[in-house]
Structure 1
Amino acid sequence: MIIKNFDPQHFVKEYWQKKPCLIRQFVPNFVDPIDENDLAGLAQEEGVDSRIVSHSDGAWDVHQGPFDDFEPYCKGDWALLVQGVNNYIDDVNALASIVDFIPHWRFDDVMVSYSTKNAGVGAHTDQYDVFIIQGKGSRRWQVGLPIDATTNAKLIIPHPLLKQIEDFDALIDEVLLPGDAIYIPPQHPHKGMTLSPCLNYSLGFRAPTNLEALTGLLDESDSITQAQSRYCDPDIAELRVASSSPMQVSTNELNKLKDTIVELLNSPEAEQALLQYLSRQGLATEQELSLYEIADISEAVAQGETFEKLPGVKPIYAERQLHTFTFYIDGNRFEVDKSIFTQTVTLLESRQVQGLPQGFTLQTAQSTHWLNLLLQLVNAGYWDFAENSDQH
């Protein structure tokens, strides 16, 4: 289960959601895109999900950020963990491109941790897939066979904000050095122990339960309202037998209700709502955006200004497209003319764009569609002038 020459196709076939593996030099010549001081700075910001997990004198402690002062919490062996760092730092966001062989809608975020010698969060399991890339320093990782209902390890809660499990037999027991990575599927017990002060980058993937997906779809109620229908039973005599008690709900009535729910789920509106739900990333766009006019964007493009996609922005779109091309970013729906499908996909995949797409000239229908799209993306806070994005 140690891979030395990583091949995405082989990995997906043999390992993804099947078994853990250690990947030597997953990122060759790896250079940390962030240091512990940058990480601490993020942990001081409102709206950034951060915590410090410490172990001292046999006791575990957990403190949630933001932090004004770290000294009271960094006791004994400790680790600072910050979620969603890819949404704030573009060089960390770039790590997500390494796992682009997995769809964007499955990707959650990059959690970055800094830990001192002997620090960790204890043995535990997760409900999601994760690649953990080793930055500076070194860490020993132990991973076991998956835990299911029949072999469930004893749950240990040493702190209200920390769930652990009892020790397990290690299937993998290896030390990671800079650029190495370990892949851990859901429900596999694992434990990391820092050997020397280090940084780790956890690329996590989400997999909603069917109930979570249904709840998420219903939360997008504005998209699905038009597809709803009210229960009616003009054929009530056929749905119920003559001897039925008024207290009784017949099997036919239950089936009819379920059929209306299935009809709703199969509607185009439900598909749109589901895509909106899957696209949500919790991006930290600015509260007060500078709103531009089409003339501003047209002039900037004509002058060769560079526009840049902001960190963490990951558009998704359905394979099936009808009369227009529709895509979603963080719950927002965008629709463009299909005549610029290729140029739109190129824009969405690019980190930076400068000028009109190749072959486009100003004052044509296609360039107008494209410029209006760029205007929408900039005003929504997902793209910006490159000189402005450097200040984020």
Structure 2
Amino acid sequence: MKKNTLLGGLTPAQFLRDYWHKKPLLIRQALPGFTPLLTPEALFAMAQREDVESRLVTHVKQQWQVANGPLEKLPPISQKDWTLLVQGVNLHHDGADSLLRQFRFIPDARLDDLMISYATDTGGVGPHFDSCDVFLLQAHGQRRWKIGATQDLTLVKGSSLKILKNFVPEQEFVLEPGDMLYLPPQYAHEGTAIGECMTYSIGFRAPPFQELGEAFLQFMADSIDLPGRYADPDLKPAKHPAEISREMLAQIADELNKVRFTEDDIAIFVGEYLSEPKASVFFESPARPLARFRATLAKRGIVLSRKTQMLYRGKHVFINGESFAAGRADKASLTLLADQRQLDGATAAQVSTDVLEALYTWYEDGWVTLG
């Protein structure tokens, strides 16, 4: 496996073995000569949109305040100590999507989004920790990072942000454009802008098991089959009318214990759950769908929309919260599309009629575009 300049000369396997979930890694010039993908003005315009998740964090007179977007007006750039956070920039900008895809040595099922943080001088969001792994890429200006492996995750009470109360930094770095800092989950850190700066955060999904459990039970509700109805033909006169009898509990428990789930059930649930678009994601259908789709597909190929999440497991293919089982021949082209996020014209021309119909439906829905 080739070494990766993105990882400071480490191969992805070395990085995952020695650092992932374990300890921080400072990577000087992970992306040499890196320049911002968006101007501040373009980012400010994005924060005004309904379909973009954004937040404004200000720190005035020792008080933290958070305003959620859309943000029609921002403080002047000359004002110190404010930060704009724009989530999911990869959903709206090709360059941001391409940058995020450089981290696909981590599976798509874990890769979440690219957030851009713009801050004026001394701006930041206070000492905090993230529940997930994060890569912090400096895009413009300088930011000073203080980090520490604190075990005390007590938060400041009454704050609108999750600020650590007893943050004790152990290391300090100043990042220049192209530098990157990796932090494992729950590793305390505080970033402070030195002048105007922009930082790109590559984040990962790690849903709580409680959330997964609740969602799985809702998913399984559609497939549970328990025929019959409660009955008690041998009922005896009640001595204590308000008491639920042991016999009733035993009969209901026996029926509920018939509920079983298989590995296939879990695979389908996980695939649909992790490919489901966020509530803020909207797809744009083509203005005039093509009548001669197959011919154009063979010339231009097909590309997944940057908003589309496509996964697979075994015979099951998942796209934007939907799932279906694919035969061996169809699965080969569909998994290739999922892994490469595109098919060239020659490959696309060979797909089966079933896959062609699926691609055309996805094209009409805005899930894929012609290359």
CA contact (8 A) 2:155 2:165 kept: yes
Other-structure match for 1:216: 215
Partner of 1:298: 294
Counterpart position of 1:229: 226
Counterpart of 1:272 (choices 248, 268, 271) is: 268
- The answer to whether 1:64 aligns with 2:51 is no
Give how far 1:171 is off: 3.3
SS where residue 99 of structure 1 aligns?
A: coil
Q: Which residue of 1 aligns with 2:136?
A: 132
Within 5 A, what are the aligned runs for 1:114-263? 114-147=118-151, 152-157=152-157, 159-160=159-160, 162-220=161-219, 225-229=222-226, 247=244, 256=254, 259-261=257-259, 263=260
TM superposition shift of 1:348: 2.5
CA–CA separation in structure 2 for the residues paired with 1:10 and 1:256: 50
Structure 1 residue 384: Cα displacement: 1.6
In the alignment, the residues of structure 2 paired with residue 258 and residue 22 of structure 1 have an alpha-carbon distance, to the nearest angstrom, of 52
Shift of 1:28: 3.0
Q: Following the alignment from structure 1 to structure 2, what is the Cα–Cα distance between the partners of residues 153 and 138?
A: 27
Paired AA for residue 155 in structure 1? L
Q: Secondary structure at the match of 1:13?
A: helix
Residue 355 of structure 1 corresponds to which residue in structure 2? 345
The answer to whether 1:281 aligns with 2:271 is: no
Which moves more between the two structures, 245-254 or 212-221? 245-254
The TM-score with structure 1 as length reference comes to 0.80
Deviation, 1:271, is 3.2
1:54, 1:74 within 8 Å by CA — same for their partners in 2? no
CA contact (8 A) 1:285 1:381 kept: no
Q: Tell me if 1:17 matches 2:26.
A: no
Partner deviation per Cα, 1:289-312 (whole Å, 9 max, x = no partner)? 55747x53113224x235432223
Distance between the aligned counterparts of 1:188 and 1:236, measured in 2? 61
1:366-381 map, 5 Å: 366-381=351-366
Q: Which amino acid aligns with 1:308?
A: V
Corresponding letter in the other structure for 2:345 = G
1:73-128 per-position Cα deviation (integer Å, ceiling 9, x unaligned): 98531111011111111210112222212111112211111111111000012211
Provide, for residues 138-157 of structure 1, a one-character-per-residue CA deviation record: whole Å limited to 9, x for no partner.
1111121153xxxx343114
AA aligned to 1:52 is L
The answer as to whether partners of 1:285 and 1:382 remain within 8 angstroms in 2 is: no
Closer, same or farther: CA 110–157 of 1 in aligned 2, 3 Å? farther
Bigger Cα displacement from structure 2, 13-22 vs 68-77: 68-77
User: Quick one: structure 1 residues 37 and 176, their matched pair in 2 at CA, closer, same or farther if it must change by over 3 Å?
Assistant: same
TM-superposed deviation, 1:13? 0.9
In structure 2, do the counterparts of structure 1 residues 71 and 277 end up closer, same or farther at CA, with 3 Å as the change threshold? same
Aligned residues: 356
Give the aligned partner of residue 316 of structure 1.
311
SS of structure 2 residue aligned to 1:163: coil
Q: Distance in 1 between matches of 2:300 and 2:63?
A: 55
Q: For 1:382 and 1:137, locate their aligned partners in 2 and report how far apart those are by CA, in whole Å.
A: 36
* Structure 1 match to 2:12: 8
Aligned match of 1:44: 48
1:74–1:156 Cα change, 3 Å: farther
Q: Which amino acid aligns with 1:191?
A: E
The structure-2 alpha-carbon separation of the partners of 1:119 and 1:340, relative to structure 1 and needing over 3 Å to count, comes to same
The corresponding residue for 1:385 is: 370
How many Å separate the matches in 2 of 1:268 and 1:276?
Answer: 12
Unmatched tracts of structure 1, length 5 or more:
238-244, 387-392
Q: Please report how far the alpha carbon of residue 334 of structure 1 lies from its aligned counterpart in structure 2 after TM superposition.
A: 4.5
Matched residue, 1:339: 329
What amino acid is the match of 2:26? L
The CA distance in 2 between the partners of 1:177 and 1:93, in whole Å, is 22
Unpaired stretches in structure 2, ≥5 consecutive residues: 1-6, 235-241
RMSD between superposed Cα atoms in Å: 3.1
- Judged with a 3 Å threshold, the aligned counterparts in structure 2 of structure 1 residues 298 and 114 are, in CA distance, closer, same or farther, namely same
Match of 1:241? none
Q: For 1:291 and 1:236, how far apart are their aligned partners in 2?
A: 65
Cα pair distance change 1:118/1:298, threshold 3 Å: same
Residues 280-332 of structure 1 show CA distances to partners (whole Å, capped at 9, x for unaligned) of 23272336655747x53113224x235432223231111x32xxxx3112212
